[in-house]
Structure 1
């Protein structure tokens, strides 16, 4: 009975149905299907509400948008607040708007800067490098700081932005006050982690390589469908709100640059990470993808003094799914350093 109490009501009822009571069993199964559809609908409504809130926040900060030219490319950025600078680096298929819900929170106490990496909205940099990578992005980031005359900054990076932040920090540790990393995809470490090679092969075979092939035959929508299938489940592209789908389309050139690059995930030295003597916060989602969990665990072993926060129930999309917890964890960390 303790087991039945732990099951959802519809599932527990199905367990108790007699084997020969087909009519009742069919009714319970129909109820379960309805429950699942209602749950998915609620999740999509919640997702839409979060995006709507971010869009409203974005309208308030869009007037602050500026741009600079560094390393031969244009970078758009926005800034708000005053004081010690905090720079936010977005993830793949995102842009500066990814941080809209965090700008107000952080700018109350800091000078916050959120920028779009070179191939992300609204930048219009035509030439795509054949070997585009986080190393290129880190060089852009360094040049952006030079242009804005920022010597030392707090850096907050998410996904590919976190990988960019790591390459920057290992090259210029003296310029980093603190480092907040939300699941950097250091894929080069996976073959050395038990079970990691299988996860890397799955990532490459089911998503990365097929997406690259779709781009090469000029079929970006299929590339996005393949990507969403991997990160959010089969058919998820058609289920996400139109606003979110448009944000993916806005940033499609970055995804093409990465998936078709000769070296999108350059090797990052474990020793260079281990030698970082900085305040570091590691953010991860409780339900993130297996390879990202493996990489985060490797980081916790290399950085035993780093603070660690797991966002309950969140996936790799933690900043969209639970911006409040992610933002509060980051704000609490920043106040200490």
Structure 2
């Protein structure tokens, strides 16, 4: 991994990586991830972009203070805005995955001047889903994946909770089949699970809110992904009428970590379109 750097944001020290000399590109990891999630992507994209990745508050290997701001999307969006300003990245191309999709939307709505383009792969918050049948289907699938995870967290079995989360997104036995480096990242982020499952309610971003975004926005999802991720992806693309929507055939929610080169190719392709 490239040399770690550190920035003080909102009273706390954040680790980040900054490689390449081109147009700024910021990669925002999801749950059970940290800046190492994007190592392969930064290596692929740094010949064209200034690639920045950082570990969001309460994730990763750092020690976070107990009296910090509440875990949740609003806090993570505030940190994102602070990082973009502190590193002088604006206007930046922001790429977000899963949990961080709502972080990206919230930050872009609050400070559109900081972002020249936003790409979100499979957001997971349904506040902008307007179709009742889709919302019901989302709720059923959310209970199916997150119900057992919550039970495991509540009983203190964080390893089982992580396995349920990863296998719930990638299929039975998915985590056990992955490389040691990926499993290490998951293990190093077990401590974030209780905060994640008890997080502050996310800001209610409506379909009308998303429609006000004026920078180019791209929404992508995998053709094999489960409803809890596919439904918000499709809804967001409908709400943002100028959005570029891409369905990637034959992949699911964990595709970004499965194929850094494939995902990076889509990041570059979407940057060439309006």
Does residue 1:124 correspond to 2:52, yes or no?
no
2:40 to 101, 120, 127: 101
Q: How many residues align?
A: 274
Q: 2:101 is paired with a residue of what secondary structure?
A: helix
Q: What is the CA–CA distance in structure 1 between the aligned matches of 2:10 and 2:262, rounded to whole Å?
A: 36
Matches within 5 A, 1:72-87: 72-87=11-26
2:182 to 244, 247, 253: 244
Q: 1:194 is paired with a residue of what secondary structure?
A: helix
Q: Deviations over 1:267-301 (max 9, x none)?
A: 21221211111111212111111121111111221
Q: Deviations over 1:146-187 (max 9, x none)?
A: 222333211111111222111100111111101111111123
Select between 110-119 and 219-228 the one with higher mean Cα deviation.
Answer: 219-228
Matches within 5 A, 1:28-107: 58=1, 61=2, 63=3, 65-107=4-46
The normalised TM-score by structure 2 is 0.90
Residue 159 (structure 2) aligns with: 221
More RCO (CA 8 Å, sep 6+): 2
Does residue 1:114 correspond to 2:53, yes or no?
yes
2:118 to 179, 201, 211: 179
Q: What is the CA–CA distance in structure 1 between the aligned matches of 2:179 and 2:20, rounded to whole Å?
A: 31
Q: What is the CA–CA distance in structure 2 between the aligned matches of 1:127 and 1:120, rounded to whole Å?
A: 13
Instruction: Report deviation, 1:94.
Output: 1.1
Does residue 1:328 correspond to 2:265, yes or no?
yes
Q: Deviations over 1:128-159 (max 9, x none)?
A: 76952111100001111222233321111111
The normalised TM-score by structure 1 is 0.74
Aligned 8 A contact 1:190 1:197 in 2: no
Unaligned segments of structure 1, at least 5 residues: 1-57
Q: What is the CA–CA distance in structure 2 between the aligned matches of 1:82 and 1:288, rounded to whole Å?
A: 34
Q: CA RMSD in A?
A: 2.3
Please tell me whether Structure 1 or Structure 2 has the larger radius of gyration of its CA atoms: 1
Residue 22 (structure 1) aligns with: none
Instruction: Report deviation, 1:84.
Output: 2.6
Aligned 8 A contact 1:314 1:322 in 2: no
Residue 261 (structure 1) aligns with: 199
Matches within 5 A, 1:130-149: 131-149=70-88
Q: What is the CA–CA distance in structure 2 between the aligned matches of 1:276 and 1:228, rounded to whole Å?
A: 32
